[in-house]
Structure 1
């Protein structure tokens, strides 16, 4: 299987969501993370997720996982890492409402060798799937990422704003320059880390 999702049955009655990339945003970037012992939350990650949880805003993880396609690890490894992330977030009073992952990549093996899978960012498929399955209003949502592709996927899904963080790959000059290219109807803001998402929380009260 090229994709993985865990969204539960809860629906959010057309509310906007906080969409988060995983590696370099919620957890430290280590390169093809697949061992629970290597998981470390980014500074303020649990604080931010918990703040959104308290206001009833769904928090959705959307992550490309090309390591699955390349054969570096499998979905059971991914699930073990996710369980560790969930445990660390829970210790900070936080939880994810859904997780969507795309394992396909052009350099993948066998049926996983797909270079334009609709779920792989910068394509918007994971955002669209979350909107359909969870009754999320994409026009009132926000995406946080460390790569330009994260923001591009949000823009393609109809989100109005993206937050580019300097953690993970976000400090690289080419990522900053690409992410900062705003388009009509899509605003880009910059922050040192995921903590910058707290400044966007009032937008959800206004929606």
Structure 2
């Protein structure tokens, strides 16, 4: 029998945690990293944790931008992180919204936070040590998603994200 060793994970909300929430952000030119965000991801990498991004992107369902725009922005973020020696293991987003004007995205989705689907999908794809993993979010719906997925949820509202992560990892 082969066992895959598990690793803890940090699930980052995107808007309001990794970057300043500019509302329906889809362009790198409007993206502004949160203070300490790139360093925070690097700290997570160096600690041996998976680093994931889980983000609601109803702007797609609302017709403000395309899924290809979200993918391009995430690729740009990955390149920016690589420049400081950091990486995200996987980006997950949910374009759905129950009131989306675009029909194919108009639905209640278990992947849309506060649903846990993006987190649980990642935990099925990667060997995540659930009991040591946590999510960092800036909204109550992020924390609800974490609880529903069986991991800790931590609220980040302001300050330096690297300092927040460094303190959290000390307690882990």
Q: Say yes or no: TM over 0.5.
A: yes
For 2:133 and 2:115, how far apart are their aligned partners in 1?
A: 16
Distance 1:97 1:141, change over 3 A: same
Q: Which residue of 2 aligns with 1:60?
A: 52
Alpha-carbon deviations, 1:7-60, whole Å to 9, x = none?
xxxxx7222100100011111211101112112211101111101111211001
- 2:154 counterpart of 1:163: yes
Aligned-pair distance for 1:193? Answer: 4.4
User: 1:37-52, aligned counterparts within 5 Å?
Assistant: 37-52=29-44
Aligned residues: 167
Check whether the contact 1:17–1:57 (CA below 8 A) recurs between aligned residues: yes
Check whether the contact 1:48–1:198 (CA below 8 A) recurs between aligned residues: yes
Check whether the contact 2:43–2:165 (CA below 8 A) recurs between aligned residues: no
Where 1:61 maps in the other structure, the secondary structure is strand
Corresponding residue to 1:197 among 135, 143, 165: 165
For 1:140 and 1:104, how far apart are their aligned partners in 2?
A: 29
For 2:134 and 2:110, how far apart are their aligned partners in 1?
A: 20
Aligned-pair distance for 1:194? Answer: 2.3
For 2:171 and 2:52, how far apart are their aligned partners in 1?
A: 17
With the length of structure 1 as denominator, give the TM-score of the two structures.
0.76
With the length of structure 2 as denominator, give the TM-score of the two structures.
0.91
Check whether the contact 2:50–2:89 (CA below 8 A) recurs between aligned residues: yes
Q: How much is the aligned-residue C-alpha RMSD, in angstroms? A: 1.4
Q: Which residue of 1 aligns with 2:86?
A: 94
Aligned-pair distance for 1:138? Answer: 2.0
Check whether the contact 1:16–1:140 (CA below 8 A) recurs between aligned residues: yes
Corresponding residue to 1:112 among 105, 116, 127: 105
Unaligned runs of 5+ in 1: 1-11, 168-191
Q: Which residue of 2 aligns with 1:178?
A: none
Q: Which residue of 1 aligns with 2:69?
A: 77
Corresponding residue to 2:134 among 135, 142, 147: 142
For 1:88 and 1:39, how far apart are their aligned partners in 2?
A: 11
Check whether the contact 1:163–1:197 (CA below 8 A) recurs between aligned residues: no
